[in-house]
């Protein structure tokens, strides 16, 4: 009987845990939908910045933001919330591949990502994880650090590695080349042509490049942090769904085991009862 009591307790615990997982999954899905509705991409701003940066004639300017020579700084966006170890590890693995192109410096957003990088023997500059209310301020902090390192000549290129939710059930690690600035201007050159006539610039081209790159990276990091939050919520929901299915499978196993052992107890009690009756009836 003791084993039946323990099995029944396990079944009850399994059911309560399943209810909790369903609640967590529902919360993650609702947060994803709310953030997805609120998220906006500012393509018009990036196209305008592309026109302005092209007007500076990058080929004729020698600047730390245009040369692309030297160590690579890798901005790695990870999550500090639970149930996302697999997604964080994919992001870090991709970042390591990018870093090895020309080793420079890891700039990690998220304490868990910093832990993964340090476990592999690399130093890094760590920033706190992304929270919805602090995305803009965090983007400014990371931008200031990364671009100042480039201006000092310590970094020649800059790449952002982050997770992106292609859908609610599918996430992918993506890279954005931030420096040299020609990396993000060239792909849009065909659809955002620069005027062929001379452009009158009030500020010096070097000053304009610095300002435009500062503005571009601020907005890009802000959007990347939002997309990484969407990927985080989607991955958590998928993980919880997998856990709920595994819990259901184990619950079914416990139920079958409980009923099997209960039948065995009933059968054993009936055999003992009939044996006792036969013995007493014979006497």
Q: How far apart are CA 72 and CA 179, in angstroms?
A: 9
Helices within 100-134 (DSSP H only): 111-119
**Confidence label for 193 from pLDDT (cuts 50, 70 and 90):** low
The pTM of the full predicted model, rounded to 2 decimals, is 0.75
**Confidence label for 35 from pLDDT (cuts 50, 70 and 90):** low
Please tell me the predicted confidence (pLDDT) of residue 149.
92
Quick: pLDDT tens for 126-146. 999 888 788 889 999 999 999
Q: Which of 94, 181, 107, 118 shows the shortest CA–CA distance to 144? A: 107
CA distances in angstroms from 125 to 107, 128, 135, 214, 253, listed in the order given: 5, 10, 18, 19, 48
Please check the confidence at residue 212 and state whether its pLDDT lies above 80: yes
Quick: pLDDT tens for 149-163. 999 889 988 999 998
Quick: pLDDT tens for 77-118. 988 776 565 788 888 899 999 898 888 999 999 888 888 899
Please tell me the predicted confidence (pLDDT) of residue 210.
85
Please check the confidence at residue 282 and state whether its pLDDT lies above 70: no
**Confidence label for 75 from pLDDT (cuts 50, 70 and 90):** very high
Question: What is the mean predicted confidence (pLDDT) over 117-123?
Answer: 89
| Percentage with pLDDT > 90 across the chain | 15
């Amino acid at each position: 009987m003791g084993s039946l009591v323990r099995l029944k307790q396990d079944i009850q615990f399994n059911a309560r845990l399943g209810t909790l997982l369903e609640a967590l999954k529902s919360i993650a899905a609702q947060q994803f939908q709310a953030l997805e509705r609120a998220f906006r991409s500012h393509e018009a701003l990036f196209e305008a910045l592309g026109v302005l940066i092209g007007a500076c004639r990058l080929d004729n300017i020698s600047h730390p933001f245009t040369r692309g020579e030297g160590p690579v700084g890798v901005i790695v966006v990870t999550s500090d919330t639970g149930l996302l170890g697999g997604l964080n590890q994919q992001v870090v693995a991709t970042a390591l591949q990018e870093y090895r192109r020309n080793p420079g410096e890891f700039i990690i957003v998220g304490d868990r990502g910093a832990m993964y990088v340090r476990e592999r023997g690399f130093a890094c500059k760590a920033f706190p994880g992304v929270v919805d209310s602090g995305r803009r301020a965090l983007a400014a902090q990371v931008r200031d650090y990364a671009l100042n390192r480039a201006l000092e000549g310590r970094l020649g290129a800059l790449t952002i590695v982050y997770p992106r939710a292609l859908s609610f059930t599918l996430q992918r690690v993506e890279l954005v080349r931030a420096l040299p600035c020609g990396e993000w201007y060239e792909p849009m050159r065909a659809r955002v042509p620069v005027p062929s006539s001379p452009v009158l610039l009030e500020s010096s081209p070097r000053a304009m490049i610095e300002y435009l790159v500062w503005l571009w990276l601020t907005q890009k990091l802000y959007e990347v942090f939002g997309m990484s939050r969407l990927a985080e919520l989607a991955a958590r929901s998928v993980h919880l769904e997998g856990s709920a299915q595994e819990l259901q499978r184990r619950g079914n196993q416990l139920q079958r085991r409980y009923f099997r052992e209960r039948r065995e107890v009933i059968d054993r009690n009936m055999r003992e009862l009939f044996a006792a009756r036969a013995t007493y009836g014979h006497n």
